């Protein structure tokens, strides 16, 4: 009877430890599932490495939509600045520059408002973040390295967002 108890404990312990996964394994499984859902040719991608997920506070600065719009805002702000400078240097007036390139000024204003809205509405939260490097085929069928930044929930049960860095 004593041996039976020990045998049962050993069996259950081995099953328990066999089913445990490291946080990196969980993150890899979640990222592969997410990649499979949106890639055209999943088989052409090979995992190189994935960093161990770290607990971080996710703010609006980490939001992919905010990052994308901020990059566009910076580029458009530079363009509008050049348009305004050209108008001043060329002794033409800013009203003419605004009439000629008014849509750029309007786009800049809209992007600025979007950035302010995201900043105001975003609720910071705790999550897990990791970086994954993949080898992939580009359109010319050459191998390239792709880096993706993943954000998961704290339990590593779902992908909250991702951003392709390179």
Average pLDDT value over all residues in the chain: 80
pLDDT at 13: 63
Query: What is the maximal distance between C-alpha atoms in the chain?
Result: 100
What's the pLDDT band for 3 if we cut at 50, 70, 90? confident
pLDDT at 93: 65
pLDDT in tens, 18-69: 456 788 888 888 888 888 887 777 777 888 899 999 998 888 888 888 888 8
Closest listed residue to residue 35, CA positions, set 135, 155, 108: 135
pLDDT at 92: 61
Taking the C-alpha atoms of residue 60 and residue 67, their distance in angstroms, rounded to an integer, is: 9
Question: Which residues, including other chains, have CB under 8 Å from residue 87's CB and lie 6 or more apart?
Answer: 93, 94, 96, 97
Q: Which residue has the higher pLDDT, 160 or 43?
A: 160
Taking the C-alpha atoms of residue 19 and residue 35, their distance in angstroms, rounded to an integer, is: 24
Residue 155 DSSP code: T
Taking the C-alpha atoms of residue 141 and residue 138, their distance in angstroms, rounded to an integer, is: 5
Please classify residue 8 by burial: count the beta carbons closer than 10 Å to its beta carbon, then call 0-12 exposed, 13-18 middle and 19+ buried: exposed
Closest listed residue to residue 27, CA positions, set 162, 143, 124: 162
């Amino acid at each position: 009877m004593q041996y039976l108890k020990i045998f049962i404990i050993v069996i259950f312990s081995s099953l328990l430890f066999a089913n445990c996964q490291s946080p990196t394994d969980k993150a890899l499984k979640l990222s592969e599932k997410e990649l499979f859902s949106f890639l055209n040719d999943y088989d052409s991608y090979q995992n190189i490495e994935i960093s161990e997920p770290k607990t971080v506070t996710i703010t609006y600065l980490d939001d992919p939509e905010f990052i994308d719009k901020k990059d566009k805002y910076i580029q458009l702000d530079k363009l509008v600045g050049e348009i305004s400078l050209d108008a001043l240097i060329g002794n033409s007036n800013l009203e003419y520059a605004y009439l000629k390139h008014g849509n750029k000024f309007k786009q800049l204003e809209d992007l600025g408002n979007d950035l302010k809205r995201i900043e105001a509405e975003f609720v910071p939260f705790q999550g897990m973040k990791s970086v994954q490097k993949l080898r992939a085929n580009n359109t010319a069928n050459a191998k390239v390295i792709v880096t993706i930044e993943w954000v998961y929930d704290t339990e590593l049960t779902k992908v909250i967002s991702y951003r392709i860095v390179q």
